[in-house]
Amino acid sequence: MRLVYGIALLTLVWISSPLAWAEPVGITASLSSAEVIHAGKPVRIERNQDNKNTIDADYALTSRACPPFCIKPIKLAVGVETIGELEMIDYLVAASKADSKVLVIDSRTPSWVAKGTIPGSVNIPWTLLKEGSSDPLTIAGILEDRFGAKDEDDLWNFSEVKTLVLFCNGMWCGQSPANIKTLLKYGYPADKIKWYRGGMQNWHVLGLTTIK
């Protein structure tokens, strides 16, 4: 009786353990993870494997004062493609390759980025590209040094610029949309601009990897 009872108790403990019944969490049915380069080091993007994981408290708030935190449209501007998480991962992988013509930009301020960002992205705070809070020389420097534009006799040549993928905190955040509108005003080709509308909030909702 003691042996049988012991086996039964052991079985009960095993069944009640969350690890015993944890289901694997892939990105898609055929993709479990993706490797990107962040700050010169490889990072694996995957979803949190804890089936009981919940969203980070910084992104759990559902109601923010509108204005200014109003819901943005799916289509931000003519020619600018709005993308989801799978496309974002593809761009992150592409941006990690040597001599890549893709740049994934976290448009948020450094204090937000310090809480965690999407691996493979670079931080260019939205204030540096915002007319009014920045200056023409700073914006021009970013266009040339970071994006590959060329200033030719006071005219911008965008023929060899990078594809930019911008994001911020979510579909209520106006930081990356403001930058996109500034870039379009300068003449940056709309088809070279992608917008991850879901931003950090959707990234967290899906339990995808972040890095500090």
**What ranges in 24-120 are assigned the alpha helix state H?**
85-95, 110-113
Check residue 47 and give its pLDDT. Answer: 98
Of the pLDDT bands very low, low, confident and very high (cuts 50, 70, 90), residue 127 is very high
Considering the domain boundaries, does residue 189 fall inside one? Answer: yes
Considering the domain boundaries, does residue 14 fall inside one? Answer: no
Considering the domain boundaries, does residue 109 fall inside one? Answer: yes
Considering the domain boundaries, does residue 15 fall inside one? Answer: no
How many angstroms separate the most distant Cα atoms in the chain?
A: 93
195 bridge partner residues: 82, 166
Considering the domain boundaries, does residue 10 fall inside one? Answer: no
Check residue 154 and give its pLDDT. Answer: 86
**What residue numbers bound the domain in which 198 lies?**
22-205
pLDDT in tens, 147-175: 999 999 889 999 999 999 999 999 999 99
Number of domains in the chain: 1
Buried b (16+ CB within 10 A) or exposed e, 181-191: bbbbeeebeee
CB atoms within 10 A of CB 46: 17
| Residues of the chain above pLDDT 90, percent | 87
**Contact predicate 43/156, CB 8 Å:** no
Check residue 21 and give its pLDDT. Answer: 52
The mean per-residue pLDDT over the stretch 195-209 comes to: 98
Considering the domain boundaries, does residue 7 fall inside one? Answer: no
Considering the domain boundaries, does residue 11 fall inside one? Answer: no
pTM over 0.75: yes
The mean per-residue pLDDT over the stretch 60-78 comes to: 96
- Give residue for tokens 């009786």: 1
Domain at 163, CATH number: 3.40.250.10
Q: Which residue has the higher pLDDT, 4 or 48?
A: 48
Tokens of 151: 């200033």
Check residue 75 and give its pLDDT. Answer: 97
Is residue 176 pLDDT above 70, yes or no? yes
Considering the domain boundaries, does residue 128 fall inside one? Answer: yes
Check residue 144 and give its pLDDT. Answer: 98
